[in-house]
């Protein structure tokens, strides 16, 4: 009696199928240093912050938005942020002027054809982001160009599949305010090439001067998977009348040495963004702690978005 031996299944791998041998650290570093032309899609709070980070690093930055009004607001955000940096003594007047000179603005995404790295910072809306990645795939000519999303919670895989170059797509999740906070989460999907991940991480650290953590492609990644349930819990506590916003925040700053209370932090992030991340987490994991509280939904419906609207849990 004979027995048949089943073939061993091939494991899923994220290694670069095009590489004949591993790229050295020196080669990855050289490829990262060669990135000099960066595109930023969106010039809201995060988009303007990403443009500033890249321009202060000496890069040629091109920013796009859907309309002239959005570009004007983005330019204003950039100018105010740089003026604040001058007042704080972080940069000189000369450095401010040189940084501004490195940033150009356009409403035509076709102008991104020569970009080596594109950072997408559009609102946290999956259909919008999918359209952007489909367009970038058509426009950006360099087949080795990296297309990165700054999404807080959406799966990178879905955005990568909107392109014909999924191996060049990954997440680079910066934190607000981007010019100040040092962390960037590097998120590769199952389709992201190892080489793309290495170059992106080297670019973030060596060129932009940030620090990285590597995270898997699951909703919320590391930081928001831990942070958002905490923020939503604080909102529920406020909603139930168990404690007021100021007392909740005071309890966490003075009792736990947090630099900012959860409701003030939610205002800083943007209540619409907190709600969008919570929704994405709930859709993926179906955990009750991820469900958006009715109070947060009503505040977003009413345009009470936190600092960026002038009113949230606090008035600004």
**According to DSSP H, which parts of 203-308 are helical?**
223-239, 245-256, 262-269, 271-285, 294-301
Q: Are 132 and 103 in contact (CB under 8 A)?
A: no
Residue 283, CA distances (Å) to 153, 207, 277, 297 in order: 11, 36, 10, 16
- 289 C-beta neighbours (distance < 10 Å), count: 14
Q: Which of 81, 120, 150, 173 is catalytic?
A: 173
Q: Which of 81, 152, 189, 219 is catalytic?
A: 152
Task: Establish whether 176 is a catalytic residue.
Answer: no
Residue 205 has what DSSP assignment? I
Task: Establish whether 52 is a catalytic residue.
Answer: no
**According to DSSP H, which parts of 102-184 are helical?**
126-139, 156-160
Residue 157, CA distances (Å) to 61, 128, 147, 170 in order: 26, 15, 12, 8
Task: Establish whether 150 is a catalytic residue.
Answer: no
Q: Which of 81, 185, 202, 219 is catalytic?
A: 185
Q: Which residues contact 177 (CB under 8 A, 6 or more apart)?
A: 45, 49, 81
Task: Establish whether 152 is a catalytic residue.
Answer: yes
- 276 C-beta neighbours (distance < 10 Å), count: 22
Q: Which of 28, 150, 224, 290 is catalytic?
A: 224
Helix (H) or strand (E) holding 59: none
- 259 C-beta neighbours (distance < 10 Å), count: 8
Instruction: State how far the Cα of 304 lies from the Cα of 42, in Å rounded to an integer.
Output: 21
Q: Residue 199 CA to chain centroid, in angstroms?
A: 17
Active site residues: 152, 173, 185, 224
């Amino acid at each position: 009696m004979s027995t048949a031996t089943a073939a061993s299944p091939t494991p899923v791998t994220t290694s670069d199928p095009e590489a004949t041998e591993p790229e050295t650290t020196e080669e990855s570093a050289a490829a990262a240093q060669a990135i000099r032309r960066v595109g930023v899609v969106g010039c809201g709070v995060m988009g303007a912050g990403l443009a500033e980070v890249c321009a202060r690093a000496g890069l040629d930055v091109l920013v796009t938005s859907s309309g002239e009004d959005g570009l004007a607001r983005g330019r204003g955000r950039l100018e105010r942020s740089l003026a604040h940096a001058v007042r704080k003594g972080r940069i000189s007047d000369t450095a401010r002027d040189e940084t501004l000179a490195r940033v150009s603005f356009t409403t035509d995404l076709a102008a991104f054809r020569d970009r080596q790295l594109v950072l997408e910072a559009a609102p946290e809306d999956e259909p919008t982001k999918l359209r952007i990645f489909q367009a970038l795939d058509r426009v950006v000519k360099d087949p080795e160009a990296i297309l990165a999303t700054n999404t807080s919670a959406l799966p990178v895989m879905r955005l990568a599949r909107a392109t014909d170059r999924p191996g060049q797509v990954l997440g680079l999740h910066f934190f607000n305010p981007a010019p100040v906070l040092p962390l960037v989460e590097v998120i590769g999907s199952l389709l992201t090439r190892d080489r793309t991940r290495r170059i992106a991480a080297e670019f973030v650290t060596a060129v932009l001067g940030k620090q990285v953590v590597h995270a898997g492609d699951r909703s919320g990644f590391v930081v928001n998977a831990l942070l958002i349930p905490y923020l939503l819990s604080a909102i529920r506590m406020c909603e139930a009348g168990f404690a007021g916003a100021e007392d909740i925040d005071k309890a966490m700053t003075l009792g736990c040495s947090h630099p900012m209370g959860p409701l003030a932090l939610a205002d800083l992030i943007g209540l619409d963004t907190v709600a969008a991340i919570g929704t994405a987490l709930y859709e993926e994991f179906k955990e009750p702690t991820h469900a958006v509280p009715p109070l947060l939904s009503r505040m977003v419906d009413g345009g009470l978005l936190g600092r960026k609207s002038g009113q949230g849990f606090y008035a600004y």
